[in-house]
């Protein structure tokens, strides 16, 4: 599987996602602009020594990337109602998460509304931490694949 973080803002969250990707053999794509420097000490600290174990790509335009994509992809947002457990993940699924402060832009909702899912939360709750959200969804996808990375 692959994780895509759209314009992440908080280096510690991205570092934590790197750790999760490392232990699950998942690749990571970061969509620019980032809210931090890749050389940020906070980013490096949160990712510890896992950086060398994860394939990380940087891209500038997610729409262009997805228009060419043949693998299944899914967006995750607190602004929709369909739970993430209803998606049928495959071993090559791409899981896309928005930034911590702005989420995902409307262009994605307008273009691919059928690909949006949410993690159910208590009503009036703002949202989960980005790195926690990635873990929840990724592990559901891996569970559906019978944890084949093990």
Question: Mind listing the pLDDT tens digit of every residue in the chain (150 residues)?
Answer: 999 999 999 988 998 999 999 999 999 999 999 998 877 566 666 655 677 789 999 999 999 999 999 999 999 999 999 999 999 999 999 999 999 999 999 999 999 999 999 999 998 887 899 999 999 999 999 999 999 875
Please name which of 99, 75, 103, 128 lies closest in space to residue 7, comparing C-alpha atoms.
Answer: 99
Q: Which residues lie below 8 Å from residue 13, measured CB to CB, with a gap of 6+?
A: 46, 100, 129, 130, 131
In a domain, residue 89? The reply is yes
Number of domains in the chain: 1
In a domain, residue 126? The reply is yes
Q: What pLDDT, on a 0 to 100 scale, did the predictor assign at position 127?
A: 82
CATH code of the domain containing 13: 3.40.1280.10
In a domain, residue 150? The reply is no
In a domain, residue 28? The reply is yes
In a domain, residue 149? The reply is no
Spatial separation of the C-alpha atoms in residues 39 and 24, rounded to whole Å:
23
Please name which of 136, 131, 150 lies closest in space to residue 19, comparing C-alpha atoms.
Answer: 131
In a domain, residue 72? The reply is yes
Q: Which helix (H) or strand (E) holds 111?
A: helix 106-111
Name the pTM for this structure. Answer: 0.94
Spatial separation of the C-alpha atoms in residues 47 and 66, rounded to whole Å:
27
- 122, burial (CB in 10 Å: exposed 0-12, middle 13-18, buried 19+): exposed
In a domain, residue 61? The reply is yes
β-bridge partners, 99: 103
In a domain, residue 76? The reply is yes
Backbone φ, ψ for residue 90 (5° rounding):
-115, 170
Q: What pLDDT, on a 0 to 100 scale, did the predictor assign at position 71?
A: 97
Boundaries of domain holding 38: 2-144
């Amino acid at each position: 599987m692959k994780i895509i973080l759209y314009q992440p803002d908080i280096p510690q969250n991205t570092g934590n996602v790197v750790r999760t990707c490392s232990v699950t053999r998942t690749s990571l794509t970061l969509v620019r602009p980032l809210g931090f420097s890749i050389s940020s000490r906070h980013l490096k600290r949160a990712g510890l020594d896992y950086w060398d174990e994860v394939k990380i790509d940087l891209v500038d335009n997610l729409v262009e990337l997805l228009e060419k994509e043949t693998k299944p992809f899914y967006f995750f947002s607190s602004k929709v109602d369909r739970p993430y457990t209803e998606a049928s993940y495959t071993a090559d699924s791409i899981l896309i998460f928005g930034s911590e402060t702005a989420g995902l832009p409307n262009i994605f909702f307008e273009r691919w509304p059928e690909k949006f899912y949410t993690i159910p939360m208590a009503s009036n709750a703002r949202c989960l931490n980005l790195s926690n959200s990635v873990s929840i969804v990724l592990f559901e996808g891996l569970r559906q694949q019978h944890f084949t990375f093990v």
